[in-house]
């Protein structure tokens, strides 16, 4: 820690510490949630001040909702979760744009392969056929938000040469004359396995939001079977239910 207090400065000690903490929380390691802020008692010892002085600085940032304390865990930067509504079906890219977040594609890959049985059953296609599989890891410049796996019905006409970095449903309509109309969804909570730990960079057995959906065209014919795994530090789902009177 290079930071040192200036005891001869007219700036109060707690304000100097606050400034130091503000310089930390904009760094990638803290923004991504990978690093916790120094403990109050540790800072107090290293800076030669009382713990109350450090706490005063920390409380300012807590009150501004820039950082949060977790008992028995530590203090970290608050990650503003992306709240998306179940009754408002738009693309991930558009959801991010609405919230002023620049989307980063960490992985976009397309392959033709034999799929799991549940995919053939959902798409109502013969199990002997290979199906186009699209994988994406997406997020912001600070973190990976989701891992998405999509399988497409052969009727769509995917070739593997499409630009899958563009919004998917716009691509299907513009390139393959396929319009999506409905999404039949199932949401569950799971624990991260080794694969998801590696992909989303989460702790082992961390809670993950799993969203499974079957996307159909206006004739209710399957177009896409999609499974998305969401990093729960960054995503919530909201739903509004009205009571019928």
Of the pLDDT bands very low, low, confident and very high (cuts 50, 70, 90), residue 85 is very low
The domain ranges of the chain are 13-77, 82-238
Query: Is pLDDT larger for residue 115 or for residue 243?
Result: 115
CB atoms within 10 A of CB 108: 14
Position 228 scores a pLDDT of 93
Position 222 scores a pLDDT of 94
Position 210 scores a pLDDT of 93
User: Which of the residue ranges 75-79, 149-153, 210-214 has the most confident prediction, judged by mean pLDDT?
Assistant: 149-153
Position 89 scores a pLDDT of 52
Of the pLDDT bands very low, low, confident and very high (cuts 50, 70, 90), residue 141 is confident
CA distance to 129, 135, 220, per residue, from 156 (Å): 14, 17, 14
**Residue 154 reports pLDDT greater than 90:** yes
**Residue 84 reports pLDDT greater than 70:** no
* Pick from 8-17, 22-31, 45-54: least confident: 22-31
**Residue 119 reports pLDDT greater than 80:** yes
Position 1 scores a pLDDT of 61
Domain 82-238 fold is Chorismate lyase (3.40.1410)
**Residue 242 reports pLDDT greater than 90:** no
pLDDT tens per residue across span 34-82: 788 888 888 888 888 999 999 999 998 888 778 888 777 788 887 655 4
Of the pLDDT bands very low, low, confident and very high (cuts 50, 70, 90), residue 156 is very high
Of the pLDDT bands very low, low, confident and very high (cuts 50, 70, 90), residue 224 is very high
Position 90 scores a pLDDT of 52
Domain 13-77 fold is Arc Repressor Mutant, subunit A (1.10.10)
Mean pLDDT of 138-149: 89
Position 155 scores a pLDDT of 93
């Amino acid at each position: 820690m290079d930071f040192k207090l200036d005891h001869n400065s007219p700036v109060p000690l707690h304000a100097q510490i606050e400034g130091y903490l503000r310089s930390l929380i904009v760094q990638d390691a803290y923004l991504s949630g990978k690093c916790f802020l120094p403990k109050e008692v540790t800072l107090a010892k290293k800076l030669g001040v009382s713990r109350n002085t450090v706490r005063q600085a920390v409380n300012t940032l807590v009150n501004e909702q820039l950082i949060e304390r977790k008992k028995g865990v530590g203090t970290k930067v608050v990650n503003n979760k992306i709240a998306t509504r179940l009754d408002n079906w738009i693309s991930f890219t558009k959801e991010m744009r609405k919230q002023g977040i620049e989307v980063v594609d960490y992985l976009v890959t397309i392959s033709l392969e034999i799929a799991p049985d549940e995919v053939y059953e959902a798409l109502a296609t013969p199990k002997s056929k290979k199906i186009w599989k699209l994988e994406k890891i997406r997020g912001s410049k600070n973190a990976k938000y989701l891992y998405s796996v999509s399988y497409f019905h052969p009727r769509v006409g995917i070739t593997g040469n499409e630009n899958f970095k563009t919004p998917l449903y716009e691509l299907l309509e513009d390139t393959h004359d396929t319009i999506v109309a409905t999404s039949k969804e199932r949401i569950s909570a799971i624990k991260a396995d080794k694969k998801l730990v590696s992909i989303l960079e989460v702790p082992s057995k961390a809670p993950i939001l799993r969203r499974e959906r079957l996307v159909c065209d206006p004739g209710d014919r399957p177009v896409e079977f999609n499974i998305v795994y969401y990093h729960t530090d960054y995503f919530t789902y909201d739903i509004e239910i009205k009571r019928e009177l």
